[in-house]
Amino acid sequence: MDGSVTVRDAMTRTYVGVTEGDTLAGTAALLVEEDATCAVVLRGREPVGVVGQGDVLAAYVRGDAERATVSDVMNTDVETVPPDTSVVAASNRFSGSVHRLLVTDGDELLGVLTERDILTVPQGSGSFDDEMRTSTPNYGEQGICEGCGTLTRSLAVADGLALCADCRDT
């Protein structure tokens, strides 16, 4: 290993697990109780999907939450990443629709890597900082505003900087 920060170093090892047949109302209560942003949907020990806070909220807004099950709203297009992947490489996998990566070693689910996990990697982590400086940036619509430092879904380049709407307006 070259000393760079890996997904294993940054991931959250504990996660909320639910099944496809669980009620959405029960899953919502579990997310609140565990202070979690998502639940991994398991079929036995195999991860088959993810239910995020947004999925639950959308079902409540539609009025479907009381009778819906997890299988009605879960996202089955789940991205996985091996634990020895560098955090920099993993961060390039996040996009407008990808907010979390399931960390797997073969068939075993080890944890979940979120955008927040990557943002909390300590500054000055040696080769992590070096790798971030030398990697080719993957500029998308979301990221950290270079003006104010907030995470935003709508960055645009202005005066050579990736800025949020508030910083572009000032």
Contact present, 8 and 103 (Cβ < 8 Å): yes
Q: Is 38 annotated as a binding residue?
A: no
Amino acid at 38: C
What is the spatial distance between Cα 20 and Cα 49, in angstroms, rounded to a whole number? Answer: 9
Is 167 within any annotated ligand binding site?
yes
CATH code assigned to 7-138: 3.10.580.10
Domain boundaries, the chain: 7-138, 139-170
Separation between Cα atoms, residue 60 and residue 44, nearest integer Å = 27
Cβ–Cβ under 8 Å, residues 81 and 100 = no
pTM score: 0.68
91-113: pLDDT as tens digits: 888 877 788 999 999 889 999 99
Q: What is the pLDDT of residues 133-154, one digit of tens each?
A: 555 455 556 778 888 888 887 7
Please spell the DSSP secondary structure of 67-99, one letter per residue: T-BHHHH-B----EE-TTSBHHHHHTT--SS--
